[in-house]
């Protein structure tokens, strides 16, 4: 039986990879311009990092983690998100001793045992950015501005920034209780999951997609009716900073996000072109996460962008697939050897060049050059080679010229190839 990939795990094939590389390159450029440094963290962590960090009563920890015992009996989990691991690395390597504020980003796969559908996979990629060590709402605004700027830089428009506050340790318990009391009166309308959530995590009911639950929360109290003056001040300043920067947002008092560690700021970037899984990115502040995982009190804020969703939104028409700059069609033994020598030299010069390995006819070599969408073809026959020359054909306008072989690289460069000097 042919072995297939696991459900919800995708291959990213060569004809799609140009988009991924473009997005990753742009993220690195934009984020580094904002003062962020890349960090790479393991894909596997001890399970308790996530159960304590993300929260026992979240969907992720309750039912979506890939958890298993290793051969020594340790419980390990494939990371479902990156923030907890980044916070762990920051504590473990005492990065706060180097500089109290750390701006970090990371790109890589995450794993959640969710029901696969369009825009939702079991292995999916995220671009994460986090700022540790500062609680000032100015940083919340700066991070959100960077996110929107990045999404615009890759060509995404018509996005909606949704904003909410979730309160903090001082005021969230009151909201939780207020919401629980309200929902108790509506329990008959709630799905089985939400009946359970009523006790464990009533805020999650606000996020439920079941129609009767949506109806039940229609008149639910809002977090903004409960938050303390400190949280209100933080929220007001954030809104002001965003307005000063000319960034439009809409308030969504129902947005709770799926992870328990959020405090105060929560945000999502939504695209209505995406269908039901419409969040391209989400994030928020988490001023208690570090304590949950055994550290001191360190404030933090961050976001994660879903790369598959982002890539599905990229505008059409941009050229992502790379084609050869040159194809060498050689006829005969000596020209074929010369073609091999030239191609190697071009590769060392950073020029994308291809040749025929199978001794095919000129016609079929030209067909392959066409298929590969090579920009130029060098036609090399016995006669030309003896004179140290070859025919260079522009595959787009079909014009041809004979050039001395020793001038090949110069000729290609003059034709405005994007060649990176290799220093050879
Ligand atoms: P979260 O880590 O849940 O806050 O999600 C942040 C972003 O990651 C979301 O806005 C999505 O774009 C993306 N995302 C989350 N879960 C999945 C999934 N199962 N498949 C694909 N993308 C996802």
pLDDT digits (tens, 9 = 90+) for 219-274: 999 988 899 999 999 999 999 999 999 999 999 988 888 777 889 999 999 998 88
Task: List the residue whose alpha carbon is closest to atom 8 of ligand 1.
Answer: 306
CA of 325 to the centre of ligand 1 (A): 38
| pLDDT-based confidence at residue 424 (cuts at 50, 70, 90) | very low
CA of 14 to the centre of ligand 1 (A): 24
> CB neighbours of 175 closer than 8 A, spacing ≥ 6?
167, 203, 221, 223, 225, 226, 227
CA of 60 to the centre of ligand 1 (A): 11
Residue 187 CB neighbours (<10 A): 11
- Give yes or no for a contact between 320 and 345, defined as CB atoms under 8 angstroms apart: no
Q: What is the pLDDT at residue 106?
A: 98
152-196 pLDDT tens trace? 999 998 899 999 999 998 898 899 899 999 999 998 999 998 998
Least confidently predicted of 41-45, 144-148, 228-232, 287-291: 287-291
371-380 pLDDT tens trace? 999 999 999 9
Q: What is the pLDDT at residue 417?
A: 52
CA of 304 to the centre of ligand 1 (A): 7
Task: List the residue whose alpha carbon is closest to atom 11 of ligand 1.
Answer: 306
- Give yes or no for a contact between 227 and 208, defined as CB atoms under 8 angstroms apart: no
CA of 295 to the centre of ligand 1 (A): 26
Burial class (CB in 10 A: 0-12, 13-18, 19+), 249: middle
Q: What is the pLDDT at residue 128?
A: 98
14-52 pLDDT tens trace? 989 999 999 999 999 999 999 999 999 999 999 999 999
Q: What is the pLDDT at residue 421?
A: 42
pTM, to two decimals: 0.90
Mean per-residue pLDDT for 333-358? Answer: 95
Ligand 1 residue neighbourhood (C-beta within 6 Å): 81, 112, 114, 119-121, 124, 126, 258, 279-282, 304, 306, 308-309
> Which atom of ligand 1 lies at the shortest distance from residue 119's CA?
21
Residue 393: CA count within 13 A, CB half-sphere: 14
Task: List the residue whose alpha carbon is closest to atom 17 of ligand 1.
Answer: 120
CA nearest neighbour of 299 among 311, 310, 288:
288
Q: What is the pLDDT at residue 201?
A: 85
> Which atom of ligand 1 lies at the shortest distance from residue 258's CA?
3
Q: Give the C-alpha distances (Å, rounded to integers) separating 194 from 61, 209, 252.
A: 16, 10, 21
CA of 12 to the centre of ligand 1 (A): 17
Task: List the residue whose alpha carbon is closest to atom 12 of ligand 1.
Answer: 306
Residue 157 CB neighbours (<10 A): 9
Q: What is the pLDDT at residue 416?
A: 58
Ligand 1 pocket test: pick from 116, 124, 151 the residue with the most ligand atoms within 8 Å of its Cβ.
124
CA nearest neighbour of 274 among 152, 117, 125, 66:
117
CA nearest neighbour of 82 among 102, 104, 100, 99:
104
Mean per-residue pLDDT for 125-133? Answer: 98
CA of 86 to the centre of ligand 1 (A): 17
Task: List the residue whose alpha carbon is closest to atom 20 of ligand 1.
Answer: 120
Q: Residue 124 and residue 122: Cα distance in Å, rounded? A: 6
* pLDDT value at 422 more than 60: no
CA of 349 to the centre of ligand 1 (A): 41
> Strand 263-270 vs strand 160-165: parallel, antiparallel, or unpaired?
antiparallel
Mean pLDDT score across all residues of the chain = 92
Task: List the residue whose alpha carbon is closest to atom 13 of ligand 1.
Answer: 306
Task: List the residue whose alpha carbon is closest to atom 16 of ligand 1.
Answer: 120
Ligand 1 pocket test: pick from 66, 306, 311 the residue with the most ligand atoms within 8 Å of its Cβ.
306
């Amino acid at each position: 039986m042919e072995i297939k990939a696991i459900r919800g795990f995708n291959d990213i094939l060569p004809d799609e990879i140009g988009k991924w590389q473009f997005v990753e390159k742009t993220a690195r450029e934009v984020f580094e311009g904002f003062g962020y440094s890349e960090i790479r963290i393991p894909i596997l962590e001890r399970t308790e990092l996530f159960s304590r960090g993300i929260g026992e009563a979240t969907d992720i920890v309750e039912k979506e983690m890939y958890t298993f015992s290793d051969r020594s009996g340790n419980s390990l989990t494939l990371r479902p998100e990156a923030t907890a691991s980044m916070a762990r690395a920051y504590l473990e390597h005492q990065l706060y001793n180097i500089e109290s504020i750390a701006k970090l980003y990371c790109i890589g796969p995450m794993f959640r045992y969710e029901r696969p559908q369009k825009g939702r996979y079991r292995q999916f990629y995220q671009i994460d950015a986090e700022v540790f060590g500062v609680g000032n709402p100015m940083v919340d605004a700066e991070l959100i501005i960077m996110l929107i700027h990045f999404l615009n830089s890759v060509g995404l428009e018509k996005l909606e920034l949704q904003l909410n506050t979730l309160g903090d340790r001082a005021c969230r318990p009151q909201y939780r209780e207020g919401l629980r009391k309200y929902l108790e009166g509506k329990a008959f309308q709630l799905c089985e999951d939400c009946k359970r959530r009523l006790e464990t995590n009533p805020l999650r009911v606000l996020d439920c997609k079941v129609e009767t639950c949506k109806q039940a929360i229609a008149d639910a109290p809002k977090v903004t009716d409960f938050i303390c003056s400190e949280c209100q001040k933080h929220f007001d300043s954030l809104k002001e900073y965003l307005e000063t920067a000319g960034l439009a947002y809409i308030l969504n008092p129902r947005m709770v996000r799926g992870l328990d560690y959020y405090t105060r700021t929560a945000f999502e970037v939504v695209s209505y072109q995406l269908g039901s899984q419409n969040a391209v990115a989400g994030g928020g502040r988490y001023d208690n996460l570090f304590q949950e995982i055994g550290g001191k009190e360190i404030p933090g804020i961050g976001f994660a962008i879903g790369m598959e969703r982002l890539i599905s939104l990229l505008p059409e028409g941009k050229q992502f697939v790379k084609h050869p700059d040159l194809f060498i069609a050689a006829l005969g033994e000596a020209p074929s050897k010369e073609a091999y020598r030239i191609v190697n030299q071009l590769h060392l010069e950073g020029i994308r060049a291809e040749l025929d390995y199978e001794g095919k006819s000129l016609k079929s070599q030209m067909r392959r050059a066409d298929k590969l969408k090579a920009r130029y073809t060098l036609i090399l026959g016995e006669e030309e080679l003896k004179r140290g020359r070859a025919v260079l054909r522009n595959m787009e306008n079909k014009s041809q010229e004979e050039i001395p072989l020793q001038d090949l690289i110069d000729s290609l460069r003059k034709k405005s190839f994007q060649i990176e000097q290799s220093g050879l």
